[in-house]
Structures are given as structure tokens and as C-alpha cells.
Amino acid sequence: MTLSLDDFDLKLLMEVQRDAHIPQNELGERVNLSTAAVNRRLRRMSDAGVIRNYAAIVAPEKVGYPLTIIATVEVESEQIDLLDSMKRTFAQCPEIQQCYYVAGEWDFVLILTVRNMEEYTALTRQLFFSNNNVKRFKTLVSMSSVKVGLGVPVAPEGV
Amino acid sequence: MTLSLDDFDLKLLMEVQRDAHIPQNELGERVNLSTAAVNRRLRRMSDAGVIRNYAAIVAPEKVGYPLTIIATVEVESEQIDLLDSMKRTFAQCPEIQQCYYVAGEWDFVLILTVRNMEEYTALTRQLFFSNNNVKRFKTLVSMSSVKVGLGVPVAPEGV
DNA sequence: CATGAAAGAAGCCGTAC
DNA sequence: GTACGGCTTCTTTCATG
């Protein structure tokens, strides 16, 4: 079920995706709605799962994780239980920020954040080399995070 | 300059990365600190840029963006101004959630969120085909977002 | 059924210790 | 680091279009 969202909702989403600490009365001014209406709409979208959660976005390089790595993985077999097991392993690994199961030349794309190359090497051993279902993998080392976010382009019609 | 963070800070980061709407008094209970201390530490980390911002995380599929695409791009020339121009273009494109400039077989890795394949096709035309500096690109279509987040593994020593 | 105004509750944050 | 108190922000109620 897809909750119907009007332009007010979309504008609110746009705002809170960028900054979730704007007071609701100010949000109200920006979108021309009362504080109460803003509050109700945000709650409604949270309840409906449109807003999954509110999160503090941490700068990895400020907490000792200056390296971002993109890894692509090809599997040996696409047997469901083997895939599920890999997905669970990837999902549980704290250094893996994102994991996509993809169609195309590869089967998985991973985004990792690590302290240094040694840590990544250790992770490849743990995640890839010691997993019989990993046929091959490739590593791309990020030299610059040009853009990092999870923002969805929810602009009201015609922006 | 890297702000020194103790175990309290790391625990707080861990919590607020998952859920930034936990009241500070409850955060205090979880990490054994007073509300005021929690408040001061969070502010300190925000000011220092450790916490970049607070954001609402929106479920793309609930707002009409069910498709996640990973694109890799190879450039023709790595001339600085050409690269910068591409970075700017990618950063400004709202459908591009993430853009990494990488070393390895490719030069850029992009994560996009789109309404459907037609929209992606249009984007490739706009971003890749009409850009003379794009030598080739490859598309991986996500069939399942196994894990999506920007969380940094800031566990206090030994977790 | 969603809205705005206003009252009440909750959370934040400065001061003092 | 903790304790307190004023102030901001959030949330609920209620009357209205």
C-alpha cells in the first residue's frame, strides 16, 4: 500500500531529509502549514514507513574510518539458501554500509567503510576468501566521496 | 584535527546513528550519563563535524522510486577541470544518491534511485551519452537492497 | 477528514555546583 | 561530571470549514 502524499508532504520530506532538526513551527512557515499539521503529517509518514527513521549522519573520516571501498562480488551458485546466507553475513558486517543484490555482470555490490587497507584485507579474507560461494570479487577504492547520501528526490511536481 | 572521542561518545554515536529521536535522558540511561552530559557531548560532536547532520531516512519505494541502480563510469581524460565538471554534474543530479571517484577498473561509481527504467535511460542519455568525457559505463540493477545505510561502526573497543 | 489555535506535556539547554 | 529551572519544542484537544 502506497500512502498518498500531497505537495505538503513532499515538501516536508524534502526538508527533513536535509535537516531533521528544524523545529516543526519553522517547517510550518516554510510549507505554509500550522505546527500541528506538520506534526500530524510527519507522524503519519513515520507510521506508514515513508520515513523509515531519523538518523545522525556521522563523518566516517572523523571517527577513524577514512577509507571507503566499493566491492563487487560474483557468486558460484545462486541457490536461494546460499544467497540468503551471504546476504545475512553482509548485512551483519558493521563495516558494510550498503549491500545490493544486483543483476548484471556481478551479483553483489558492497559499500564498505574501513580504518585502513589492512582492515579491508582482513575483511576480504573473512567475507570472500573463506566463503566457498564467492567465485571472484573486485575492489574499487574511493579516492573522493563526491556525494554521499540517501536522499530521495521528492520534489513536488515540476522542480 | 580529530576530536578525541571516548567510549561515552562512541556509544552515543552508535545510538543516534540508529535512532536520532531517542530523548537525551534515555540516551543518558543507556550510556550511564546525565541528560546534561549527553546534551553537551552531542553538541560538541555536531560542532566538530563528527555528526554531520540529522536526517530523515525516506523509503524510496514508498515515494515512487522503487529502482536502485549502480552505475560505473570510465572517463576519457582525467584532466582536472573535466573531472571537476563531472563531479559537479553528478553531485547536482538529485537521482544520484552517491558518487565515488575511485581507483581501479572504473573512475566513478554512482548509486541512483529512479522511478523506472525509462527514467534511468533518460538519465544515461543526459549524464553519459551527451558527455564527451565518458568513455564507457556499465549498469547494475539492484534486485534487492540487502542493507542500506551510512552507519559507521563506532563500537567502543572490543564489541 | 484535515485544519488552526491554544493548552498541556515533554524535551532541551543554560547556569550553578 | 551532576542537579536544577526556565525556555523551546512537541503533542493533544477541540472547535471549525
Residue of A nearest to B5 (CA): A63
Q: What is the pTM of this model?
A: 0.96
Q: pLDDT above 90 covers what percent of chain A? A: 94
Query: pLDDT tens digits, residue range A4-52?
Result: 899 999 999 999 999 999 999 999 999 999 999 999 999 999 999 999 9
Residues of A in contact with B141 (CB under 8 A): 102-104
Measured distance CA(B27)–CA(B12) in Å, rounded: 7
In order, the DSSP letters of B72-119 are EEEES---HHHHHHHHHHHHH-TTEEEEEEEESS-SEEEEEEESSHHH
Chains A, B: CB contacts under 8 A, how many?
239
Domains and CATH numbers, chain A: 7-47 (1.10.10), 60-141 (3.30.70.920)
Contacts of B47 by beta carbon, 8 Å cutoff, 6+ apart:
none
With 0-12 / 13-18 / 19 or more C-beta atoms within 10 angstroms meaning exposed / middle / buried, residue A7 is: exposed
Ranking A12-16, B50-54, B153-157 by mean pLDDT, the lowest is B153-157
- Give A48 to chain B, closest Cα distance, Å: 9
Q: Which of residues 13-52 of B touch strand C (CB under 7 A)?
A: 23-25, 35-36, 39, 42-43
Q: Which residues share a beta bridge with B74? A: B136
Instruction: Output the nine-digit C-alpha cell for A152.
Output: 530521495
Kindly report the bases of strand D lying within 7 A of a protein C-beta atom. Answer: 1-4, 8-13
- Share of chain A residues as helix, strand and coil, in percent rounded to the nearest 5: 40, 30, 30
State the average pLDDT over residues A45-65.
Answer: 98
Reported as half-sphere exposure (CB side, CA atoms, 13 A), residue B46 has a value of 14
- Buried b / exposed e over A119-145, threshold 16 CB at 10 Å, is bbeebbeebbeebebbeebebbebeee
Measured distance CA(A63)–CA(A70) in Å, rounded: 19
Query: pLDDT tens digits, residue range B61-117?
Result: 999 999 999 999 999 999 999 999 999 999 999 999 999 999 989 999 999 999 999
Among candidates A2, A17, A100 on the partner chain, residue whose Cβ is nearest the Cβ of B70: A100
For β-strands A67-75 and A108-114, DSSP reports them as antiparallel
Measured distance CA(A63)–CA(A15) in Å, rounded: 27
Look at B56 and A20 and tell me if their CB atoms are within 8 Å.
yes
Using a CB–CB cutoff of 8 Å, tell me whether A80 touches chain B.
no
Dihedral over Cα of A17, A19, A21, A25: its sign: negative
Mean pLDDT of chain A: 96
Sorting pLDDT into bands at 50, 70 and 90, what band is A157? Answer: confident
Measured distance CA(A111)–CA(A99) in Å, rounded: 7
Would you tell me which residues 12-31 of chain B have a C-beta closer than 8 angstroms to some C-beta of chain A? 13, 16-21
pLDDT at B3 over 80: no
